[in-house]
């Protein structure tokens, strides 16, 4: 079930469409999409019966209304017998699990295994059931990204283009993601590009990673060989995942206290790009740890008022009461405006479609 998009404009001061202003900066390489972990996960599970059926039964303006990603977390919480009422909050559920397991690395590994098995179990009745049976015999050898690819997820309606592929078509040298998976790299490869995966080793573990995944201070990304920075880790290295409340706090501390000028946790070129580029934040929920920590991280490198304005793409938040919506939106607009960010009240998928259409229009005008 796709979450219904609210297309109304509640206030005259609401952010307008800045797409045309961004277009000239694409060829200069100073536009950076920043893509959430939940963005692709939502697309993968959106049409899977069972999970979305549960979402459809929950009232829209209820405290219990859950996104697909939150419902998936609830399923995991049920499987580990999480005892608290906030069982849709991934950071808190993961925190409980890590404490309960007394082994953080094992807890993260088991979370990844849960995702693998949940996807396989919910896909066993479709036309890919033979592949599902084979994958179940070798789940230890497959990452979530591999299984998703084998099952041909996400599956879009006829005539609907894959939003990640549209982003991958753009001539951009840098992409940033808080996803644990390689969906973005696969989209870039499908567009005949050779992305370089760069992982943030905020908690160590670099010595056990492939050398090509180390942040390379000498690497010069290009539109053909772009860099994909995984800020919150990569599934191949569970130790690097930022998933629990402690992980998020330790991630921020690691970045704040990093004094290594030769080989910093966050490469110098990425710091410069964050400060000097127009950022587009896609697929985040403003109340989640994933976004809150990311935003503090970004602001650390954008202290100069001359940093270009950037954009947060956001579905309108769910207030406790419908009549509180205007006040909620006014507060958020003021909050982001002070930090040089505009807000587009729409879904990430819709924004990417419009972005791509504007880019095509811009190129056509440039050639005419």
- Domain 19-42+156-367 belongs to what topology? Rossmann fold (3.40.50)
Q: Is the pLDDT of residue 175 over 90?
A: yes
- Report which of residues 129 and 116 the model is more confident about: 116
Per-residue pLDDT at 60 = 41
Percent of the chain with pLDDT over 70: 87
| CA pair distance 243, 87, nearest whole angstrom | 14
Mean pLDDT confidence for 29-58: 78
Q: Is the pLDDT of residue 5 over 50?
A: no
Q: What is the pLDDT of residues 185-213, one digit of tens each?
A: 999 999 999 999 999 999 888 888 999 99
- The answer to whether the beta carbons of residues 287 and 69 sit under 8 Å apart is no
Buried b (16+ CB within 10 A) or exposed e, 339-350: ebbbbbbbbbbe
Instruction: Identify the three-state secondary structure at position 213.
Output: helix
Per-residue pLDDT at 367 = 53
Q: Is the pLDDT of residue 257 over 90?
A: no
- The answer to whether the beta carbons of residues 344 and 316 sit under 8 Å apart is no
Q: Is the pLDDT of residue 51 over 90?
A: no
- The answer to whether the beta carbons of residues 255 and 265 sit under 8 Å apart is yes
Mean pLDDT confidence for 351-356: 94
| CA pair distance 314, 284, nearest whole angstrom | 7
Q: What is the pLDDT of residues 276-316, one digit of tens each?
A: 999 999 999 888 999 999 999 999 998 767 789 999 998 87
List the domain boundaries for the chain: 19-42+156-367, 43-150
Q: What is the pLDDT of residues 199-249, one digit of tens each?
A: 999 988 888 899 999 988 889 999 999 999 999 999 999 999 999 999 999
Q: What is the pLDDT of residues 86-105, one digit of tens each?
A: 999 999 999 999 999 999 99
- The answer to whether the beta carbons of residues 185 and 239 sit under 8 Å apart is no
Mean pLDDT confidence for 340-351: 92
Most confident of 42-51, 58-67, 164-173: 164-173
Per-residue pLDDT at 8 = 41
Confidence of residue 17 (pLDDT cuts 50, 70, 90): low
Per-residue pLDDT at 316 = 74
| CA pair distance 57, 79, nearest whole angstrom | 21
Q: What is the mean pLDDT of the chain?
A: 86
Per-residue pLDDT at 15 = 38
């Amino acid at each position: 079930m796709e979450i219904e998009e609210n297309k109304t404009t509640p206030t005259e001061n609401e952010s307008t469409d800045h797409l045309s202003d961004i277009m000239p900066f694409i060829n200069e390489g100073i536009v950076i999409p920043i893509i959430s972990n939940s963005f692709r996960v939502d697309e993968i599970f959106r049409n899977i019966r069972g999970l979305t059926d549960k979402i459809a039964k929950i009232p829209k303006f209820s405290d219990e209304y859950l996104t697909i990603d939150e419902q998936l977390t609830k399923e995991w919480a049920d499987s580990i017998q999480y005892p608290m009422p906030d069982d849709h909050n991934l950071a808190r559920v993961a925190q409980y699990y890590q404490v309960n397991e007394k082994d953080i690395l094992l807890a993260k590994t088991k979370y990844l295994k849960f995702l693998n098995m949940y996807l396989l179990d919910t896909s066993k009745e479709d036309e890919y059931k033979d592949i599902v049976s084979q994958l179940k015999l070798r789940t230890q050898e497959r990452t979530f990204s591999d299984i998703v690819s084998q099952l041909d997820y996400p599956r879009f309606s006829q005539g609907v283009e894959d939003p990640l592929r549209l982003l991958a078509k753009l001539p951009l040298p840098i992409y940033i993601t808080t996803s644990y998976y390689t969906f973005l790299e696969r989209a870039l490869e499908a567009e005949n590009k050779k992305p370089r995966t760069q992982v943030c080793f905020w908690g160590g573990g670099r010595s056990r990673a492939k050398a090509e995944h180390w942040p390379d201070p000498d690497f010069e990304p290009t539109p053909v060989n772009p860099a994909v920075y995984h800020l919150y880790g990569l599934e191949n290295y569970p130790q690097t995942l930022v998933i629990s409340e402690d992980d998020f706090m330790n991630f921020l501390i690691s970045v704040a206290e990093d004094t290594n000028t030769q080989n910093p946790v966050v490469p110098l070129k990425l710091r410069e790009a964050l400060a000097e580029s127009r950022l587009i934040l896609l697929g985040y929920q403003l109340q989640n740890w994933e976004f809150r920590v990311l935003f503090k991280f970004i602001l650390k490198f954008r202290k100069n008022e001359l940093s270009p304005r950037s954009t947060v793409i956001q579905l309108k938040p769910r207030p406790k009461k419908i009549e509180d919506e205007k006040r909620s939106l006014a507060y958020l607009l003021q909050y982001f405006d002070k930090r040089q960010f505009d807000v587009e009240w729409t879904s990430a998928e819709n924004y990417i479609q419009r972005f791509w259409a504007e880019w095509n229009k811009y190129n056509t005008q440039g050639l005419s």
